[in-house]
Structures are given as C-alpha cells and as structure tokens.
Structure 1
Amino acid sequence: MKTVFKSAFDSSRRASPRIAASVYAIFFAAFAALLLLVSSSRAESLWNAAGVSGRSMFADRKAAGRGDILTIVVSESAVAQSSQNKKSTRESTLQDALTKFIYPGLGTHKGQLPGMGATGATSYSGGGDVSNSQSLSARAAVLVTDVLPNGNLVIEGVRVVTFSGETQYVVLRGLVRPDDIARDNSVVSTNIADARVEFYAEGALTDAQKRGWLTKVYEKLRPL
C-alpha cells in the first residue's frame, strides 16, 4: 500500500513543473495578445486622425477642405486718370451776283442787278479731365465652400460691422490656390482669382451723401 501512495506522489511531483510551465505559457501568450490589440487600436486611431485632416501633425494648420476657415487680407487700390481735349472750327463764304441779264434794264433795281452773299463760321472747343483714386484695406474670414478637382478652393464670406447706426458690408468671393496660403492661414486679396470684392454701407450718413430723386430727374431732363 505504501508503495502505491509513494508512486502516486512521485508522479504528481513530476507533473507539477509541466503544469506550471503551461500556465506561464498561457499567461505570456495572453499578455502578448493584449499588447498587440492595444497597439493596433492606437495605430488605427492615429491613422484615422491623419486621414481626416489629410495633414501631418507637424504641418501648419491651413484651409484645405470644405468648411475650413481662411483669412483674407484685403489690399486693393485703383487709380484712373484720363484727359481729353477737342476743338473744331468751320468757316464758309458764299458770293453770287448777276452781271448781265437778257435785256438791259430788265430785273434791275435802281439800276443794279440782284446778287447774293453769305458768310458763316462755327467754332467748338471742349475738354475734360478725370482723376480717380480708391483704396481699400481690411481683414475678413471666409469659408471654403467647395474644392475643385485641381485642388483650388472656392471661397465666400461676408463681414458685417455696425457702428452708430451705420452698417458696413464686406463681401468676398473667388478662387484660391493652396500654394498662395501663408503659414498663418491667410491669403492676400491680390492672389485671389475671379475675385469679387464688394464694400458698401447703409445708414443715415450714407443716405445724407446721396442726391434726392427729384434732383436726379431734373439733371436728366434739363437741356443745358
């Protein structure tokens, strides 16, 4: 009987190292699988973030897609000068007289035959000078409304400023190349293609600078 128990005890002692080794192997395998799962999930999240923005984490934040905001630096100036002079002169002289008629004394008046003479002259002189200079400086944020197949950005934005009852509007539209966007996410208005820059105001001050409708009608109808 003792021999049987001893053999069973020896068998269990010989089997225990194998069981421990199996437990350690299963533990390390589970730990390695957990690390692999965590690292893959992190790598996937970073890849998705890069895919959404389309830029590296070290790149400058520039407008590149629909819905992005871009700052426009408006710097527009226009100068127009024109000078025109016109002068016209015309002179005409007409003299006509009868020196001999069919019968002597026929058709005469106090012994003289009829005659005709005329002299005319016209002169016109006119001229005009036009000189106009305009400049506009402002900063406004616009929205990227579309991206063309070639990568150019379609922008549009409106800036409204109200002060003391006077409202000023700045309307910007056009096309922007991504290469023209500066590192601070701004672009100069002179680099905008098909640009449409509108600046106008509404209010009592603006209305006071306009002519009345009766004055406009009078200037249209007056002859001089």
Structure 2
Amino acid sequence: MAGLFALAGCASGPTSIVTRPVRALPQPTLMAMDNQGSIFQAATAQMLYEEAVASRVGDTLTIQIQESLTGSNKSNTSASKNGNVAFKGPGSTSSMGGVIKELFDLNVTSTGSDSFKGTGSTDNANTMTGTLSVSVIDVLPNGLLEIAGSKRIAVNGDLNQLRFSGLVKKRDIKAGNVVSSQKVADVQLEQVGQGVVADANTVGWLQRTFMSVLGFD
C-alpha cells in the first residue's frame, strides 16, 4: 500500500510553462513631484483625438492568437554488402588415393550477402486561433511591455484553461489595443483541461508506471 501511495504521489500533472504571473500586481501609489497645473497632469492625461494605448502596468489589451506550426521529417537509409570466398586444394597425384586424394582435390566456395533498408517519416501540425485579453504586468527598461493573462471556462464540471504570456512592442499594438500573437516575443502559450474529457484522453498513472518499467513491445 505504501508503494501504491508513493506511485500516486508521482502521478501529478505537468507543470505550467507560463512562469509569469497572469494578472497585474498591485502598484504602490506614488505622489507626483511636479504639478503641471490644476487640470492637466501628464501622467494621467488622455488626449481627445488620440486613442489610449496600453503602456502602463494594469492596462489591458487583446491578443489575437494566430499560431500555426507545421513540421516534417523524412529519412531513407540503405546499405548492402556482398562477399565471396573460394579455396582450392593443392591437387593430388596419381600415387594418392582414398581420403587423402579427396582432401588435396577439395574445392570450397562461400558466398555471403547482407543488406539493410530503412525508411522513416514524421509529420507534426499544430494550429490555434482565438482571442484573449491580457494585462500589462511590467514595463521593462527598454520599453517592452511584459504581458500575461488567462481564461478559464467551466462547462458541466469540465474546466478548460488558456494561459498566455510574452513581450510586446508598443508600436506593434493596433487600433483598439489589439496585437497579433505573431508580433509577441518570448511567447508561452498553453491550453490545459481538467475533467471527464481530459481524463479520458490521459493515460493512468499505474499504466504509465508499467510502461516505464516494462519498456518493451
């Protein structure tokens, strides 16, 4: 029983690849050192004829997820080897007879061949599209916006969670505070599920244990 519980403890799911926080942390309130006037404040001003662009911690923007990855790998290998060996006795004389004569007239021929041919191919295609609202969680010294966000949807006990994080340039943000995931650097994107549907597509921990211990066909 102790061994079973130990194996069960090793059956935890994979860790998340999104290491950044998925929401903006509370920021300390800083008192303005310079007063630009009773109405206009540069730190919080919004222009009448300009659309506000996400630029501060806590601002939100929309990520258009447009990820498509296709990979293919093919290999063909062939090899062959042929060999012939012949041996002929020194030859007998008229005075030889019986077994001795047969040994001296012995002719031996050996032929061998070996061939190998192997082929292999693998194809992989991943596509994910959709939209996700994320928050600016940090502004780096070089001006890049560190963004992250998550979306959780639960239906009839099944939970589906989408996580996203990366780095964005302000100039890549389009109207409406929208940016394509193809313009995001250091992207970490994952979709995980929990529930009956996810369990039906997951190998049990006991079966995984036997597969790892008994690693033969």
- TM-score of the aligned structures, taking structure 2 as reference length: 0.70
1:47 is matched with which residue: 36, 40, 46?
Answer: 40
Equivalenced residues, count: 177
Change (3 A) 1:67 1:119: same
Q: 2:114 matched to 1:122?
A: yes
Q: 2:208 matched to 1:216?
A: no
* Match in the other structure for 1:145: 137
Name the SS for the 1:112 alignment partner.
helix
CA RMSD of aligned residues (A): 2.8
1:192 is matched with which residue: 184, 190, 202?
Answer: 184
Matches within 5 A, 1:126-205: 126-205=118-197
In 1, distance between residues paired with 2:167 and 2:98?
88
Aligned partners of 2:89 and 2:103 also within 8 Å: no
Name the SS for the 1:47 alignment partner.
coil
Q: Which has the higher contact order (CA 8 A, sep 6+)?
A: 2
Matches within 5 A, 1:12-23: none
Aligned partners of 1:72 and 1:142 also within 8 Å: yes
Q: Post-superposition shift, 1:109? A: 4.4
Cα offsets for 1:87-135 (capped at 9, x unmatched) = 211111112233159xx75995463335543221111112122222221
Aligned identity (percent) is 25
* Match in the other structure for 2:10: none
* Match in the other structure for 1:22: none
Q: Residue type of the partner of 1:160?
A: R
Q: Residue type of the partner of 1:120?
A: G
Q: Residue type of the partner of 1:59?
A: E
Q: Which runs of 5+ in 2 are unaligned?
A: 1-35
Cα offsets for 1:27-77 (capped at 9, x unmatched) = xxxxxxxxxxxxxxxx833213xx232542332122110111111111111
Matches within 5 A, 1:40-79: 44-48=37-41, 51-79=42-70
Q: Post-superposition shift, 1:190? A: 0.3
Q: Determine which structure has the larger helix proportion and give its number.
A: 1
Name the SS for the 2:90 alignment partner.
coil
Q: Residue type of the partner of 2:199?
A: D
Between structure 1 and structure 2, the one with the greater Rg is 1
Change (3 A) 1:72 1:203: same
Name the SS for the 2:215 alignment partner.
helix
Name the SS for the 1:205 alignment partner.
helix
In 2, distance between residues paired with 1:157 and 1:106?
98
Q: 2:89 matched to 1:98?
A: yes
Q: Post-superposition shift, 1:209? A: 2.2
- TM-score of the aligned structures, taking structure 1 as reference length: 0.68
Aligned partners of 1:105 and 1:111 also within 8 Å: no
Name the SS for the 2:103 alignment partner.
coil
In 2, distance between residues paired with 1:199 and 1:140?
12
